[in-house]
Amino acid sequence: MAKLDPLVEEVLVAVLAIGALTAIIALLYRLSTGLSPWPLVVLAEIAALGMGIAVLLATSPRRHR
């Protein structure tokens, strides 16, 4: 199996982390208000996805080959 570039690995981990956070926030919103989190919460979190990934990548430790 081919080894992924470390930057690609970090992006995948960041997308999974932000995606999980998005799902948790949407679920908590649904449980606390009884309202559907669509479109307000979900669209806002999708818009923030890029910022979250950028922050996670900027603060992650650097790996050298």
pLDDT digits (tens, 9 = 90+) for 48-64: 887 877 787 788 776 65
List the domain boundaries for the chain: 17-59
Query: What whole-number distance in Å separates Cα of residue 61 and Cα of residue 65?
Result: 13
HSE-up of 46 (CA within 13 Å, CB side)? Answer: 7
pLDDT digits (tens, 9 = 90+) for 2-61: 788 877 887 888 788 878 888 898 899 999 999 888 887 778 877 888 787 778 778 877
pLDDT of residue 65 exceeding 60: no
Return the pLDDT at 52. Answer: 75
Return the pLDDT at 17. Answer: 83
Query: What whole-number distance in Å separates Cα of residue 5 and Cα of residue 20?
Result: 23
